[in-house]
Structure 1
Amino acid sequence: MNKRRLIPLGSFLFLSLIRPIVAAPSGGPYGPLQLEYAIPAGARTVYFLAPDGDSDAKGATLEKPTTLESAITRVVTGDAIILRGGVYRTGDLVFNQGITIQPYQDEQPVLKGTRIATGWEALSGGLWRTKWDTLFPLPPAPWWRLHRHIHDTPLYLFNNDMVFIDGRLLKTKGYPAELDENSYCIDYENGYVYVRTDPTDRLVEITAYDNAFTRTTDPVHGRQSDKKGFTMRGIILTQYAYRALEIEGYTPEQVSLESAHGKDVVGTVIEHCTMSYCSRVGAYLRGDNLVVRHCLVSDTGTEGLFILSSNDVLLEKNLITRNNEEGIQGYYATAVKIWNQCYRVTCNDNLVIDINNSSGIWYDVGNVDGVFTNNWIQNTTDGFFFEISKGVICTGNVFVNCVRGTRVLNSSNAKVYQNTYVNSGAAFERTPRSAVGDHFDWHPASGPDVDERHGHEFGNNLIVVHKD
């Protein structure tokens, strides 16, 4: 850890010696661990893959591996995909079966959503350009207004392309004249990418795929969805133009019963994976009994993880950092968004740190009976944000250098006990917002009404102001 992390951690350890602690962050390890994976016992069919695999091979042995693109079209419920180590430049892969995806033994497969850019043309003024045929322009979000946002959120920030030089992500700009060695721009009309760094003998990567995997609910590859979640372990998913991973499912735009959503894909487990350098979100995840454990989610344009309309979810021992890196103004980003009538989502013992001008973990719109325990949240605006929702236990957490360690807004029955606040506040707020006359009327309707926003308890918390 750097010095900024060590100072409050040391303060917390000192305080723990003079005050009994009922619950607290474990101290890690957080994020992926290097493990050795056995072939799943009882797997129906095992497919062995390699970056240089043969798409026509069956993939039945290590000696004759197939490709990921080929295997994903063949797998059915109970099958296992085993990836040898190395870089797989691939994406936009779709499946609808309850399968397992994992490394071979202790090798490290890396899925990248970029291709290597070649064919650069030198221009005057130190500029270079190359023709590129997989571009990801995007119109502005509906909330964007010219008079209000043009200066702090120029239109090019909505595009989803990314350019990396020797692994370093460049910043996007609007015109070639604005470029320096740390930035790029794109001429979408003519299909050119511009940089002001000599690409000779450099590794230049440009986005070529929207996402790595979509677990669809639609028929695909001649099969109906089995409604079973998949298991993914030990995989790095990085450099994708929108998100690394998405699980589809019903997302209500009305007040919804718990029994009506979260049932399309049930029981997904994602462990020891990395989702990084996505232009927007690391992963959009749906489905009951979802588990995300020991994952790294970092360097995303807006959110890290989005949990939507799902019940009995567990997020545990994840490391989530450097989200909202695009810095779009007028949009409220967060490292983790738990959104739209999720029941019993537990966030336990996660490290959420260094989040750019946004919240840490945000339960928003109609969530019920959340559990928020033993997390370490540092350098965010609202560390734990509970909005338009009913019932949460928040205990054993440490909040460091957050504008508000905990914030409860237009909600009911938040029980906040045994937490430590270092240079961080706590807020309980209520506004007149209701379903009457609200643009998103079902949003406030899914939570407690104005006269029901009570029942909060705040006790046995330690609040410290550090002199530095």
Structure 2
Amino acid sequence: MLLEKNIITRNNIERITGYYPAAVKIFNQCYRVTCRDNLVTDMPWSNGIWYDVGNVDGVFVNNWIENVGSIETDIRRDQLWPSDNGFFFEISKGVICAGNLFVNCDHGLMILNSCDAQIYNNTFVNSIACIGRNERSAQGDHFGWHPATGPDVDERDGHILVNNLFTATTGFERPLLFVWQPPSLCDRLAEPMVERMDHNLFVRAPGQAKAPLLLWSPAPSPTCQATLQSLEELKANHAEFTGASLEYCDYEGPLFKSSELGHYQLLPGFGAARAGAQPPAAVRSAAGTREMRHIGAYPPAR
């Protein structure tokens, strides 16, 4: 299945409740579904594109996702929902998510109860990136066949985050990255669900002192969660995830070519623009380019 070069907008304008709205839902046991070069925008009461249960080896590349859900509401820290997600990959196995732009989304992406998500070279502007797992399984579930189509509880790991740009403008009082699991799994699953995390860039404008940079699980606390204000705090317990990543707090210097005009290329004057690592060939092939040693969705402006 290929979903390419579409404009998808204004789903659930009636604000219907009691179901789970999504502009596009790829439902149940599809292989190699590719969503490429689509515009998904203006959906305050709906998810964007949702790969829902049993999907294998998905491809989600070069999409522009904007204004999905609301960034004005307070988020829950004990779970990842209710939420509206620009890209939602649930109870599924393997996806390449690369070259996408997420702007002013409740959650830019959410990877839930899945494994082996390769998240490379995406740009998040005022949009949380979420990865989570819980104890939901085929035993005792209302839709038992749903979790049976994806990885089991102890197989929901292997995620990679590399070359991503996480940015927040003044007034955005939310974390930029939320990695979550509930306390009920903390003893059973004590190792991170993230396999590799490096060459990422976190940029926050002044005025976000109240918001943590990251919410991270598992962690040795009653909530199984650590509230982290900086990459240095993550490094204290997980140095393997912070090697070449950079953080700019209270930053007021050059960044994008023109976010007001929709030009989200990093400016050459921004020193970390080419601080990325070359992704694997499969990721570059899916994104349609040979060179991705930059940070974020787009090569730096010239």
TM-score (norm 2): 0.51
Task: Give the aligned partner of residue 60 of structure 2.
Answer: 372
Given that residues 11 and 45 in structure 2 are in contact (C-alpha distance below 8 angstroms), is that contact kept between their aligned partners in structure 1?
no
- Select the residue among 97, 100, 113 that pairs with 1:410: 113
Q: CA deviation at 1:320?
A: 0.3
Q: For 1:279-290, list aligned pairs within 5 A.
A: none
Task: Give the aligned partner of residue 49 of structure 2.
Answer: 361
Q: CA deviation at 1:428?
A: 0.7
Task: Give the aligned partner of residue 200 of structure 2.
Answer: none
Task: Give the aligned partner of residue 327 of structure 1.
Answer: 15
Does 2:140 match 1:452?
Answer: no
The alignment partner of 1:444 has SS state of helix
What residue identity is the alignment partner of 1:411?
A: S
Task: Give the aligned partner of residue 27 of structure 2.
Answer: 339
The alignment partner of 1:385 has SS state of strand
Instruction: State how far apart, in whole Å, the 2-side matches of 1:416 and 1:327 are.
Output: 31
CA deviation string 1:97-139 (max 9, x = no partner): xxxxxxxxxxxxxxxxxxxxxxxxxxxxxxxxxxxxxxxxxxx
Q: CA deviation at 1:358?
A: 1.6
Segments of structure 1 that go 5 or more residues without pairing to the other structure are: 1-312
The alignment partner of 2:13 has SS state of coil
Q: For 1:387-466, list aligned pairs within 5 A.
A: 387-466=90-169
The two structures, once aligned, show a CA RMSD in angstroms of 1.0
Q: CA deviation at 1:322?
A: 0.5
CA deviation string 1:398-434 (max 9, x = no partner): 0000011110000000010100000001111001000
Instruction: State how far apart, in whole Å, the 2-side matches of 1:437 and 1:328 are.
Output: 29
TM-score (norm 1): 0.33
The alignment partner of 1:421 has SS state of strand
- Select the residue among 339, 351, 359 that pairs with 2:39: 351
Q: CA deviation at 1:445?
A: 0.2
Higher relative CO (CA 8 A, sep ≥ 6), structure 1 or 2? 2
Instruction: State how far apart, in whole Å, the 1-side matches of 2:169 and 2:7 are.
Output: 25
The alignment partner of 2:32 has SS state of strand
Instruction: State how far apart, in whole Å, the 1-side matches of 2:44 and 2:16 are.
Output: 10
CA deviation string 1:44-74 (max 9, x = no partner): xxxxxxxxxxxxxxxxxxxxxxxxxxxxxxx
Instruction: State how far apart, in whole Å, the 2-side matches of 1:395 and 1:352 are.
Output: 16
Q: For 1:48-447, list aligned pairs within 5 A.
A: 313-380=1-68, 381-447=84-150
Over the matched positions of the two proteins, sequence identity in percent amounts to: 67
The alignment partner of 2:118 has SS state of strand
**In terms of Rg, which structure is larger?**
1
The alignment partner of 1:428 has SS state of strand
Instruction: State how far apart, in whole Å, the 2-side matches of 1:356 and 1:466 are.
Output: 19
What residue identity is the alignment partner of 1:416?
A: I
Segments of structure 2 that go 5 or more residues without pairing to the other structure are: 69-83, 172-302
